[in-house]
Amino acid sequence: MQGTEAQRRPGSVRRFLVAAALAASVLSSAFSEPLAAAAPADDWPLFRGDARSTGVARTSLPDQPALLWKYDVPKGSFEGTPVIAAGAVYIGDLDGTLYALELATGKLQWKYTTESGFMASPAVRDGLVYLGDIDGQFRCVDAASGKLAWEFAAEAEIDSGANFFRGNVLFGSQDATLYCLEAKTGQLVWKHAIADQIRCTPTVVEDRCFVAGCDGQLHVIDLNEGKETAAVEIGSPTGVTPAALGDRVYFGTEGGAFLCVDWKQAKVLWSVADSRSSQAFRSSPAATDQRIVVGGRNKRIQALNPDSGKEVWSFATKTRVDASPVIVGQRVFAAAAAGRLYTLDLQTGSLLWEHQAGGGFAGSPAVAAGRFVIASDDGVVYCFGKE
């Protein structure tokens, strides 16, 4: 064997080239997408787990998850999704309190209270927690102490969780505006308005952001400039967060259609609707190259073929499914409005585990560090894992 050209070069030259390639790789990583598509196995720092909103966990869970702890807020109510970062769980309630709980035990670490309420999911990055409220205030709080770092006023309710691009934080508001702020200071970098409310969490791929709007369009926005590069008609409004997989994004609408859009070509590749019902989608999908999994107000959890949209399986629940499912290996973890939790086989949809909790679930699971955390509308945070 003669070897490659690099292998045939003198040792000092090879070492220089390897070092240069490594440096280039580090620089490319640093300046492309600080939140990689795959979140660390020990963290679930965003509403759907990662910047691309895939809803896919990088950890494992036992076949029969055990209830490890509950944190009860008397007269409380949660509609948001918790996040997990650095061994802590963060979640805001409708009464206006942001809680930090120890992931291992559920013990309260701190709470930050406002006069408003929280419907959005928090987001965590670099030791800071970001969360908007129903009065339009977007706050940054120190993750270790719960002390306010800064706040920024939008002009209407914030249901959108935050996402990140380089040194900036992104969120949408019912004032029909996507905001980009400096993550450390809260200073406005740019804002981009559409024709109607933004309720979804912005999905980020490279230097592009995807916003599915109440104006019936999917917007593709250049994150360097804050300018729209394309808009795709989707037929009806939606507040669902799109899941990105390669050049495609997947999401459902209030009109009961579920779509796949090629964001580079700015066109709908396929659109499907449940022939049994035209109920809206409020659940954001989980996406892998094998299955797209989503819950519906038609009281079903469905798995679709990502290339064609053809239904692979459907699992019937007794109540609507607004919570967004999470894919963990070859299983799907999902929650229904009546407080029932399900584990389904990703390939077949077969029921593997279920648990009846109190209250109901509008918020979705967070899965990291071998734990499954979800909060109910009757004020209870649940944590499942291995006993």
Q: At 371, which CATH number? A: 2.130.10.10
Q: Any idea of the CA torsion for 226, 83, 125, 113, to the nearest 10 degrees?
A: 90
pLDDT at residue 7, as a whole number: 37
Listed residue (248, 293, 238) closest to 270, CA to CA = 248
Listed residue (147, 227, 154, 142) closest to 188, CA to CA = 154
> Is residue 7 assigned to a domain?
no
Task: Please report, in tens digits, the pLDDT of each residue of the chain (387 residues total).
Answer: 333 333 333 443 333 333 333 333 333 333 334 434 556 789 999 999 999 999 999 999 999 999 999 999 999 999 999 999 999 999 999 999 999 999 999 999 999 999 999 999 999 999 999 999 999 999 999 999 999 999 999 999 999 999 999 999 999 999 999 999 999 999 999 999 999 999 999 999 999 999 999 999 999 999 999 999 999 999 999 999 999 999 999 999 999 999 999 999 999 999 999 777 679 999 999 999 999 999 999 999 999 999 999 999 999 998 999 999 999 999 999 999 999 999 999 999 999 999 999 899 999 999 999 999 999 999 999 999 999
Domain that holds residue 42: 36-385
Count of domains observed in the chain: 1
Terminal C-alpha separation, the chain: 54
> Is residue 75 assigned to a domain?
yes
> Is residue 240 assigned to a domain?
yes
> Is residue 120 assigned to a domain?
yes
d(CA 19, CA 24) in angstroms, rounded, equals: 9
For residues 112 and 105, the answer to whether their CB atoms sit within 8 Å is no
**The model's pTM:** 0.89
> Is residue 17 assigned to a domain?
no
> Is residue 134 assigned to a domain?
yes
